[in-house]
Amino acid sequence: MAYQYFEIKKNADFHSKNDSGISGQYRFASCIQNCNTILICGCAEFESEWFQLLQNILEKQVLPTGKLPNTEFDFVDENESWQEIKKWLDNQPRGSVVYVAFGSESTLSQEEVNEIALGLEKSNLPFFWVLRARHLYKANAVLQLPEGFEERTKRRGVVCTDWVPQMKILGHVAIGVFFSHAGWTSVMEAVQNEKPLVLMTFFADKGLNAKILEEKKMAYTMPRGEHDGSFTSDSVACSIRLVMLDEEGRIYRENIKEVKDFFVNIERQDRYIDNLLDHLKIRLER
């Protein structure tokens, strides 16, 4: 259970860019060093070995808070952009659409955009792609789709550069696979809606998230170059089709349903919160 080389390098590059002069790693380590208790968004039944490992390494009490499942916002039903998205999804066959979204902080290069776009085209599957067209850290950099891509795929694909209600989209019956960055909120929403995952990691905790999900056969990680993280359009197309259509990918489609109870069981979630509150009360009384 470890990061790949290109993930380590991206983490180092990302955290070194800090105008405050204090790195994210230093802040995190200082918090760990000076705290009494560590709270983790997770449940012991799902990942008991990791809670025990953290306690052994850090020599501090580690408490799960439960998975804290997300809830939908009712007002989105009246949102005009959602109505347009829903109309398009309603016209797609059940379980046929690839939903593509890499979170609010993940940044694609132009080369990665090209390969993802061409991979979606090669997959011959309907897709809904939420693309952050502007670079998060380079204000003047605008990502472009490959020439002719939108024209060639306009009958079966949508590329959206605006905010979208992800929970609503994942909850739609037309979505068959979620092509994601392995961010834990996105993973939570995928499990809640029983959508199997294809993963492409970027930085921070995403690499380890992907390893855990792959170990539990909840997600398939797209093959990439170990040293530079490179990938091809063929890798994109084959990974998506494997999880959505192939017999080899059946295990991911089934397992994502089997683990749902760990993530959304209300009684279990309430129990974790009650235990957490009891712990905090005891500490305050000391």
- How confident is the model at residue 72, as a pLDDT? 58
Q: What is the pLDDT of residue 138?
A: 59
The pLDDT assigned to 77 comes to 57
pLDDT at 78: 59
Q: Which segments of the chain have a pLDDT < 70? A: 11, 13-18, 71-78, 134-141
124: left (phi over 0), alpha (psi -120 to 50) or beta: left
Region 74-262: CATH code: 3.40.50.2000
Whole-number Å distance between alpha carbons of 74 and 81: 14
The pTM is what?
0.86
Measure the CA–CA gap between 133 and 150, rounded to whole angstroms: 14
Question: How far, in Å, CA of 220 to CA of 213, rounded?
Answer: 8
Rg (CA), the chain: 20
The full set of domain ranges for the chain reads 5-69+264-285, 74-262
